[in-house]
Amino acid sequence: MSRLSMITKDKAQATVEEMYKDLERRIIASPPGLCPIDLTISFVKMAHAQTCGKCVPCRVGLGQLEALLGDVLDGRATLDTINLIEKTARSIYLSADCAIGYEAANMVLKGIEGFRYDFEEHILRDRCNFGIYQSVPCVSLCPAGVDIPGYIALISEGRYDDAIKLIKKDNPMPATCAYVCEHPCETRCRRNMIDDSINIRGLKRFAVDNASEVKNPERMPLTGKKVAVIGAGPSGLTCAYFLSMMGHQVDIYERRNKLGGMLRYGIPSYRLPREILDKEIDTLLSYGVNVFTNVTVGKDISVVDLKDKYDSVYIAIGAQIHKNMGIEGEDILGVYSAVDILKEIGDGIYPDFKDKKVAIIGGGNVAIDVARSAIRLGAKNANIIYRRRKDDMPALKEEVEAAIAEGCEVYELSNPIKVESNEDGRVKALIVKPQIVGMIENGRPKMQDAKEKPISIECDVVVIAIGQGIESKDFEKDGIPVRRGVIDALSSAGVKDIPGVFAGGDCISGPATVIQAIAAGKVAAANIDNYLGYHHVIESDVSIPQPRLADRVPCGRVNMKERPIEERIDDFLLAECPMSLEEANQESKRCLRCDHFGFGVFKGGRTEKW
Amino acid sequence: MVNLTINNKKVTVPEGTTILKAAELNHIKIPNLCYLEGLNEIGACRVCVVEIEGVNRLITACNNVVEEGMKIYTNSPKVREVRRTNVELILSQHDARCASCVRSGNCSLQEIANDLGILDIPYELQLPHAKWSEGFPLVRNYEKCIKCMRCIEVCDKIQGLNIWDIANTGSRTRVDVSKNRRIEEADCALCGQCITHCPVGALRERDDTDKVFEALADKEKITVVQIAPAVRAAWGESLGLKREEATVNRLASALKMMGFDYVFDTNFAADLTIMEEGSEFVEKLKNRENEKFPMFTSCCPGWVRFIKTQYPDMVNQLSTAKSPQQMFGAIAKSYYAEILNVDPSKIFVVSIMPCTAKKYEAGVEALNDAGAGHDVDVVLTTREVDRMIRSEHIDVRFLEEVELDSPLGISTGAAVIFGATGGVMEAALRSAYYLVEGKNPEPDAFKDVRGNKEGWKEAKFTIDGIELNVAVASGLGNTRRLIETLRSGKVSYDFVEIMACPGGCAGGGGQPIWDGEELAEERAKVLYGLDEINDLRFSHENPAVIECYERYLQKPLSHTSHKLLHTNQEEWELNPLKNE
């Protein structure tokens, strides 16, 4: 016997390790609409398999919990059973020796608190909560409900124009989304069960780049109804597009010079080239939408006037105003808001950051946009100052990585407390208080001041990018209800108690994503159409290819690449490279066609019209 | 065209053909269970799987289309093993006590299991535990349901009522009433289409045959049976009779043999219905400005249930005339009791109906007007009467045909077509014409309303210079489309006939079941044939009806007629469990 030996994996252990990975990916792809109690039983069962067998609560108790939960599902339980489950789980939680036991019990306790109603429904009516179907994961997670398996199938057949047509049934801004969509559709892609999610946005971009000029569908007969849309961001534009397609006359009122809202005045052109945005907007408006730029509703004309003048009004003013931090020195020369800087960049006015040291406060996409723009404008450095950990940043992971690659530095766990000025009254440094990660509350760790001294970060420019607010005051004054700073609208986009007035996008939710704004515009268009007394049906005549009858063997995901760093940091041209034809063909064929295979072929596989 | 091979046989089929169809076109049978063409092509049972050369996993034939150069094997060792395993798995969750199943011998699962030679199931039997509402005219047996989802699809796609849905997820997934309702809380029309589209015995009508045997055995009871029009077009199907052999007279003979005292015809009451409903319509026409149009027919209780739950504001547009079944019951326990000179409560009225909703209708308290309990005591479906004949071991092939009894067995051709979509409308128009013009039209003058159609049929007729717009729909999905269009103001009609079942009663939910086949049209042909050969083709010429008015009712819409033959639809209780 050797005194020590290296641990080697036997085949069984190696296989189990592989199965753990399979399970991890399966959980990522877990569809919504499953019975929460059934899932809880499965989790407890797995936890029970992990028990070492030493201690009573875990060895015996978890099995008893499984049996009791089974009673609930199999019609053998009474309402008292819930109490017994709770009591048992609490005892296990309080007395198990290690986390294998007490955390398993904790899941059950969470369940009883989180979905007690489901427990009761099972016991009293022998049924789970109803009405949620296992949907096609990508489609159900796309706020606009775009027919993703449909267009991926079209891309795999080289029918790029048809792919664009199909997307435009639900989302009139395929090009914009091809470049900047946050692609929530990819998060629960069932392909994760095999290997990895489909690169849906990348494929969409391939279709957009390779399609010819796809015309809008024919306009429906004119109705004589007039609708005013306030704000020409993605939400307003979407609403205007669908309503004008339906035959209504739409006038857009836009405060700024140009159209696009945050697409132009928030997203830099190296992510969304202006010629692509301009072309998309031109196509969108080609039904004959009237545009009034440089008109501020609430100042130049009131929403009340619009309401009188039009049959319906859609408010889509976005979230455009800068939020202050409330720290000392925030008004010093050289401190800017991200909103203002990106707005100027949107109009083609680039700030002079040449050789400047720039500190950007914030961890969202806007902060990253400013930092990467600063690098492109020749800044000496671009430091992203973030209060939490890098992992906690709400910005897209790939954006953060790209920024770092381009030379941005992330100062994590740094809470800005003061801006210091030099003798000229200009910014000299940003003082930050180091943070320590602490207890988790509401699923997120809290940050606390660390027992360390504040640090001074030398800089010439400070850009604050900690979020945006809604300019709702003028609307509130005119009787539009505002709650917690946002316009108070229903899920139908209807503004409470004011028939004919609708609102959607960032101005009712606070800053969110492009695709959510587009979805809001679509919802508003449908409900405004109904309000006007119509039920125009939006559909597409594109026939969807039959699914390929081939095995789906594991195959890696094609990721997007960016242009070489040295090249891209000197210009504002598109940073991301397209997929090659070879890549697009391979990637599109990875799609599992959940519209056809699985529950989708029975229910919810395809919404052909709305 | 696409070229491929199936089991090494070269075949050419049109593009877009499913593998199942391609095989069928070339006389290669691929077994399937959940599949229903155009309705349920979801590949749930995985019985129709086939092997495609070059593909490891198997493919369902029912919902995947052929590709050029494909090499398909429908019976490879892999296919055989998998198909058999899947059927065994289905059987492991199916109460397969076939000997006591209503669908024994007419069950697609039984047939496939037998075909595959399954003698032993290697799995533990796992039956679900859900409970059904006792006494409801429609019965779901959770232990027999194989979750093929056909009932969901028929109700969603054909009937548009969405009564069924998936309940629960995961291993406990089952088919149950949608939205966590009990069936009596749902808006079920009781059309029974889910029953006739179930491949196994998971759905059936409430069995009332025992009640009938009991009444037949009771010497005190005078048993009277009425046979609905559409029953005569279908009753012999499951007893091995050809259509021309399965006459109503042979059925009457079987019923007599069972011990029924009098065998009558719902057709008599159908003629009566035309007199009442036709007169009601003519009266309405006289007061056109003040009346609400269209007037809707009211003889289909599935339709009545539908309108009461879906469009309650339109219930007052239903004709107040009762259905033929209920008119018959009311007349049997009044006029006919008088003829027999007996206490009406001694009379036990049985109906044989192609329908499950009729079981509900007979139980509606507001319809009992003869004052002797329920006007109709028991309703049997066509299937139940067939089962009774079998249980009596009557060999119908060797029965002499007998005439139906008088006077409630006398009827016209106008009545027999009640069993097909458009029939009520046509019969009503024949007599309405007479009532207005004072003379008969050509008997086939209104045949434009015949035949089943996607959507609905409309026709225009002129009677005495009055232009009449009529419409006919069958199937509740079609009905909803018609009513929505009516409500949107895009169409307007004077008179509308609705039948809940596609094709009318001929395709009724109480008719014999032929998995995968729709026989309404074929059965309707029988009914139109019977109309054509009848000497009497106008309800107002039915001598027994004329006599009934002369001796008892006086005239259509008289006080007595109103009491016995009309109803206030608003008073109907919808929950059959509360009627009992």
B56 with A551: Cβ contact below 8 A: yes
Q: Which residues pair with B225 in a beta bridge?
A: B263, B350
Residue B454's pLDDT band (cuts 50, 70, 90): confident
Is residue B521 within 8 A of residue B537, CB to CB? The reply is no
Q: Is the same domain home to A359 and A420? A: yes
Residues 16-45 of chain B with CB under 8 A from chain A are 16, 41-44
- Average pLDDT estimate for A328-343: 92
Is residue B149 within 8 A of residue B35, CB to CB? The reply is no
Show the tokens assigned to A420.
């210091």
Q: What is the pLDDT of residues A367-379, one digit of tens each?
A: 999 999 999 999 9
- Residue A282: exposed, middle, or buried by beta-carbon count in 10 A (0-12, 13-18, 19+)? exposed
- Tell me whether residue A131 is in a domain: no
CB atoms within 10 A of CB B366: 13
The C-alpha atoms of residue A342 and residue A537 are separated, in whole angstroms, by 38
A549 with B52: Cβ contact below 8 A: yes
How far is the alpha carbon of A152 from chain B, nearest alpha carbon, in Å? 18
A130 with B165: Cβ contact below 8 A: yes
- Average pLDDT estimate for A486-506: 91
- Which of B57, B63, B129 lies at the smallest CB-CB distance from A74? B129
- Average pLDDT estimate for B171-180: 92
A551 with B179: Cβ contact below 8 A: no
Q: So what's the pLDDT on residue A10?
A: 85
Share of chain B above pLDDT 70, in %: 100
Q: What is the pLDDT of residues A552-600, one digit of tens each?
A: 999 999 999 999 999 999 999 999 999 999 999 999 999 999 999 999 9
B65 with A546: Cβ contact below 8 A: yes
For residue B128, pLDDT beyond 90: no
Is residue A291 within 8 A of residue A329, CB to CB? The reply is no
How far is the alpha carbon of A551 from chain B, nearest alpha carbon, in Å? 6
Q: Is B176's Cβ below 8 Å from some Cβ in A? A: yes
To test the contact with chain B by mutation, choose from A128, A543, A597 the residue with the greatest count of B C-beta atoms within 10 A, namely A128
Omega of the bond leading into B407 within 30 degrees of 0 (cis): yes
- Which of B149, B169, B179 lies at the smallest CB-CB distance from A38? B169
- Average pLDDT estimate for A542-555: 93
Q: Is the same domain home to A400 and A459? A: yes
Count A/B contacts: CB-CB distance under 8 Å.
62
- Tell me whether residue A24 is in a domain: no
**Closest alpha carbon to A346 in A272, A267, A403, A286:** A267
Is residue B564 within 8 A of residue B299, CB to CB? The reply is no
The C-alpha atoms of residue B497 and residue B470 are separated, in whole angstroms, by 8
Q: So what's the pLDDT on residue A130?
A: 63
CATH code that applies to domain B209-579: 3.40.50.1780
B63 with A601: Cβ contact below 8 A: yes
The C-alpha atoms of residue A205 and residue A211 are separated, in whole angstroms, by 10
To test the contact with chain A by mutation, choose from B68, B140, B149, B169 the residue with the greatest count of A C-beta atoms within 10 A, namely B169
- Which of B56, B70, B180 lies at the smallest CB-CB distance from A125? B180
Q: Is B490's Cβ below 8 Å from some Cβ in A? A: no
- Average pLDDT estimate for A385-404: 94
Is residue B558 within 8 A of residue B460, CB to CB? The reply is no
- Tell me whether residue A608 is in a domain: no
Q: So what's the pLDDT on residue B470?
A: 95
What are the chain A neighbours of B41 within 8 Å (beta carbons)?
601
Q: Is the same domain home to A328 and A303? A: no
- Which of B59, B130, B167 lies at the smallest CB-CB distance from A130? B167
Whether ipTM > 0.90 holds is: no
Q: Is the same domain home to A450 and A476? A: no
What are the chain B neighbours of A45 within 8 Å (beta carbons)?
none
What are the chain A neighbours of B488 within 8 Å (beta carbons)?
none
What are the chain A neighbours of B52 within 8 Å (beta carbons)?
549
**3 state DSSP class of A74:** coil
The C-alpha atoms of residue B480 and residue A116 are separated, in whole angstroms, by 39
Name residue, tokens 């723009």: A373
Q: Is B130's Cβ below 8 Å from some Cβ in A? A: yes
Q: Kindly list the distances between the CA atom of residue A290 and the CA atoms of A241, A281, A311, in Å, as whole numbers in the listed order.
A: 11, 13, 15
- Tell me whether residue A130 is in a domain: no
What are the chain A neighbours of B166 within 8 Å (beta carbons)?
133
Give me the torsion for CA of A294, A295, A299, A301, rounded to 10°. 160
* CATH code of A84's domain: 1.20.1440.230
The separation between CA A294 and the C-alpha centre of its own chain, rounded to angstroms, equals 30
Query: Which of A467, A494, A515 is the endpoint of a domain?
Result: A467
A551 with B59: Cβ contact below 8 A: no
Show the tokens assigned to A315.
């408010």
Residues 234-273 of chain B with CB under 8 A from chain A are none
Q: Is the same domain home to A263 and A314? A: yes
What are the chain A neighbours of B176 within 8 Å (beta carbons)?
127
Q: Where are the domains of chain B?
A: 2-91, 138-205, 209-579
> What is the domain extent for residue A266?
226-320+470-531
Average pLDDT, chain A: 94
What are the chain A neighbours of B179 within 8 Å (beta carbons)?
130-131
Q: Is the same domain home to A361 and A420? A: yes
Number of domains comprising chain A = 4
Q: So what's the pLDDT on residue A170?
A: 97
Looking at chain A, which residue has its C-alpha nearest residue B162?
A131
- Which of A128, A133, A549 lies at the smallest CB-CB distance from B55? A549
* Stronger pLDDT, A30 or A462, i.e. the higher one: A462
B171 with A34: Cβ contact below 8 A: no
Q: What share of chain A is helix, strand, coil (3-state, %, to 5)?
A: 40, 15, 45
Q: Is the same domain home to A269 and A233? A: yes
Q: So what's the pLDDT on residue A134?
A: 74
- Tell me whether residue A41 is in a domain: yes
Share of chain B above pLDDT 90, in %: 93
The C-alpha atoms of residue A230 and residue A528 are separated, in whole angstroms, by 14
Q: What is the pLDDT of residues A159-214, one digit of tens each?
A: 999 999 999 999 999 999 999 999 999 999 999 999 999 999 999 999 999 999 99
Helices (H), B355-488: 357-363, 382-391, 413-416, 423-437, 476-487
Looking at chain B, which residue has its C-alpha nearest residue A42?
B170
CATH code that applies to domain B2-91: 3.10.20.740
- Average pLDDT estimate for B238-243: 94
Q: So what's the pLDDT on residue A127?
A: 85
- Residue B230: exposed, middle, or buried by beta-carbon count in 10 A (0-12, 13-18, 19+)? buried
Q: Is the same domain home to A362 and A263? A: no
**Closest alpha carbon to A358 in A265, A457, A434, A432:** A457
What are the chain B neighbours of A602 within 8 Å (beta carbons)?
42, 44, 149
Q: Is B168's Cβ below 8 Å from some Cβ in A? A: yes
CA B139, B143, B149, B152 dihedral sign is positive
What are the chain A neighbours of B50 within 8 Å (beta carbons)?
none
* CATH code of A143's domain: 1.10.1060
State the DSSP string of A492-512.
Answer: TSBBTT-TTEEE-THHHHSS-
Q: What is the pLDDT of residues A62-78, one digit of tens each?
A: 999 999 999 999 989 99
> What's the CATH fold of domain B138-205?
Alpha-Beta Plaits (3.30.70)
The C-alpha atoms of residue B86 and residue B80 are separated, in whole angstroms, by 10
Omega of the bond leading into A481 within 30 degrees of 0 (cis): no
- Average pLDDT estimate for B351-378: 96
Q: Is the same domain home to A354 and A405? A: yes
**3 state DSSP class of A419:** strand
E strands, B150-260, are: 164-167, 174-177, 203-205, 222-227
For residue B36, pLDDT beyond 90: yes
The C-alpha atoms of residue A604 and residue A33 are separated, in whole angstroms, by 12
Q: What does the DSSP 8-state code read for residue B185? A: G
Name residue, tokens 């790029």: A160
State the DSSP string of A425-477.
Answer: SBEEEEEEEEEEEEEEETTEEEEEE-SS--EEEE-SEEEE-S-EE---HHHHH
Across the beta sheet with A501-503, what order do the strands follow? A290-292, A249-253, A226-230, A312-315, A501-503
* CATH code of A313's domain: 3.50.50.60
Residue type at A541? Answer: D
- Which of A74, A127, A549 lies at the smallest CB-CB distance from B167? A127
Instruction: Give, to the nearest 10 degrees, the angle between helix A514-531 and helix A234-245.
Output: 40
